[in-house]
């Protein structure tokens, strides 16, 4: 795989995580206190740096075949979960993820929480909420960077994609000081689900001993096929929902 597709894939995947972390930080900082919120975010970033420094190099010593099998399986599982939710949301069987609503929920929770000072932090609630949000979303970013970068032997390109996503989302968040409600998050998650499922299938099969025709070029077929299958499910479920709604309307007319 060339560097550009790897950078773009990691970028899109990390944008989703960065938007969710930004929503938590903005809601906490604006509603409660910026100092404690930024302290929590800073501690989370330090923890992520330590975890990355400890885990990242260790992965390079693992057998590549076993690594690809394990990572491929995990990516496929994550990708299929993202795809399932994206398909259900696109067809109306599951409510769309609304970043604005999530932001308001965080704001309401922050307003109702009591103010408490601990360990030199003036607002412990702001600190812990920002810490947990950034750490959890950051761990997913670290996982994406390490697995994609190490499997393609180009960690640098994966880091560039993740860094670009974080910078773009951060600058946009600072500029508008609001959640990125205009980001088509469900379709971004659909795209990420397609990519994770495709890469997971590709690497998992390689780890199991499969030799893909054309090597990395096989991804040019796998990705569209996964997207086509997922898109077909959206079309089928929408048709099924429409067909179920028609008899209901007809019964109402008769009644």
* pLDDT at residue number 183: 60
* pLDDT at residue number 39: 92
Q: From the centroid of its chain, how far is CA 152?
A: 20
Distance CA(206)–CA(150), nearest Å, equals 15
List, for the chain, all residue ranges whose pLDDT scores fall below the cut of 70: 1-2, 56-64, 67, 95-107, 109-111, 113-114, 176-185, 245-255
* pLDDT at residue number 131: 93
* pLDDT at residue number 46: 92
In a domain, 252, yes or no: no
In a domain, 104, yes or no: yes
* pLDDT at residue number 42: 93
Q: For residues 210 and 202, is the Cβ–Cβ distance under 8 A?
A: no
In a domain, 247, yes or no: no
* pLDDT at residue number 196: 82
* pLDDT at residue number 40: 92
Q: What are phi and psi of 184, to 5 degrees?
A: -70, 75
In a domain, 170, yes or no: yes
Task: Note down the domain range covering 141.
Answer: 3-242
In a domain, 230, yes or no: yes
- Token look-up 């659909």 returns 190
* pTM of this structure: 0.65
Q: For residues 233 and 87, is the Cβ–Cβ distance under 8 A?
A: yes
In a domain, 250, yes or no: no
Q: Count Cα atoms within 13 angstroms, Cβ side, for 31.
A: 25
- Token look-up 């040019």 returns 220
Q: For residues 212 and 202, is the Cβ–Cβ distance under 8 A?
A: yes
* pLDDT at residue number 120: 73
In a domain, 97, yes or no: yes
In terms of phi and psi (left: phi > 0; alpha: psi -120 to 50; beta: otherwise), the region of 119 is: left
Render pLDDT for 174-205 as a digit per residue (tens, 0 to 9): 776 666 555 666 777 788 788 888 888 888 88
In a domain, 248, yes or no: no
**DSSP structure string for 45-60:** HHHHHHHHHHHHHHHT
């Amino acid at each position: 795989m060339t560097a550009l597709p790897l950078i773009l894939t990691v970028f899109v995947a990390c944008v989703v995580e960065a938007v969710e972390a930004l929503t938590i930080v903005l809601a906490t900082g604006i509603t409660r206190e910026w100092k404690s919120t930024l302290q929590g975010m800073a501690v989370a970033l330090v923890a992520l740096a330590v975890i990355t420094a400890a885990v990242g190099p260790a992965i390079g010593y693992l057998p590549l075949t076993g690594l690809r099998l394990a990572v491929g399986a995990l990516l496929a599982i994550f990708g299929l979960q993202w795809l399932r939710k994206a398909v259900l949301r696109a067809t109306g069987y599951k409510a769309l993820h609304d970043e604005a609503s999530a932001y308001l929920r965080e704001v309401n929770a922050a307003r109702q929480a009591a103010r408490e000072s601990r360990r030199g932090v003036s607002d412990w609630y702001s600190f812990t909420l920002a810490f947990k949000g950034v750490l959890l979303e950051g761990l997913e970013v670290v996982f994406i960077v390490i697995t994609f970068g190490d499997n393609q032997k180009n960690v640098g390109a994966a880091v560039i994609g993740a860094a670009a996503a974080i910078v773009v989302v951060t600058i946009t968040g600072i500029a508008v000081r609001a959640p990125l409600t205009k980001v088509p998050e469900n379709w971004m998650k659909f795209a990420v689900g397609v990519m994770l499922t495709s890469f997971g299938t590709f690497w998992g099969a390689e780890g199991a001993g499969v030799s893909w025709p054309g090597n990395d070029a096989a991804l040019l077929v796998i990705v569209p096929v996964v997207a086509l299958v997922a898109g077909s499910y959206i079309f089928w479920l929408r048709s099924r929902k429409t067909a179920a709604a028609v008899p209901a309307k007809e019964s109402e007319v008769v009644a």
